Amino acid sequence: MNKESVLAQPNEESIFLWVDHAWNRQGNGEFCSWIDPYLIQTGVPVGAILICPGGAYAGQSFHEGEPVARQFNRNGFHAFVLHYRVSPFRHPAPLHDIARAMRIIRWHASAWKIKPDKIATCGFSAGGHLAGSLGIYFDRGDPQAEYLVERLSCKPDALILCYPVITTGNFANKTSFANLLGNNVSSSVLRQMSLELLVRSDTPPTFLWHTVDDEGVSVENSLLFAQALRKYGIPFEAHLYPHGGHGGGLSLSDKHVATWMSLCCQWLRKMDW
């Protein structure tokens, strides 16, 4: 786990995802997943973004969390940063965490002045894979669930995928999938995690951006996902920047790449966020 992840700790405003701590145990490890809310003052409900920092499913990068949330706040949106389970936890633990976080945000939508049908997931690198996975594996809620929050849909209303890990094929970021699935997994399991193969007609609208010279997660990941979205007629917007490498977050040191945030916010506003 990287240094930035070690520094991330719950604060007094943090919201833990699970009442039953059994959800958080694996072997000798325990991690209580949580979300940090970044709510804005608003007289009317507005949209929200649930942010998944990257870290190859081994940690989570601070610069892809809180700074991004605050920038969305400056643009008039509520934001939440998800601190999800990573290695040694395996799939589907991170997916359970993001689904639960989405339901909790929807559950509190009225009190927090959030439009319940305008909640996006935003993910960076491996966090992009997690955000995208919810856009594939969402459910509409369990009407018989003991906990009322579980009766709500966890479907994101839009996806914002920033230099995302997408494919388990030729352009895979193998480290991320080893951390998520373990080693020596079958081809059928890998296929279930290759998001470009799983897009459907009900996949949410998507905003994608990537740098062409990214050596950490190949730009083909975004291109493959965009092709799949086009195949199924899913609205999407994609921006490819020639330079910038991997893991830039807000990319404030590169004014050109940094335009992704303003472009994304314009895209959200056009959808009435």
pLDDT in tens, the chain (273 residues): 444 554 578 899 999 999 765 555 555 567 889 999 999 999 999 999 999 999 999 999 999 999 999 999 999 999 999 999 999 999 999 999 999 999 999 999 999 999 999 999 999 999 999 999 999 999 999 999 998 999 999 999 999 999 999 999 999 999 999 999 999 999 999 999 999 999 999 999 999 999 999 999 999 999 999 999 999 999 999 999 999 999 999 999 999 999 999 999 999 999 999
Nearest to 64 by CA among 15, 126, 14: 126
Cα(74)–Cα(250) distance, integer angstroms:
13
Cβ neighbors of 204 (< 8 A, separation 6 or more) are 120, 135, 155, 156, 157, 158, 159, 234
State the amino acid at position 109 in one-letter form.
A
Query: In total, how many domains does the chain have?
Result: 1
> Which residues form the domain of 146?
3-270
pTM over 0.85: yes
CA distances from 2 to 17, 33, 54, 65, 90 (A): 23, 17, 11, 14, 18
Could you tell me the CATH number of the domain that includes residue 191? Answer: 3.40.50.1820
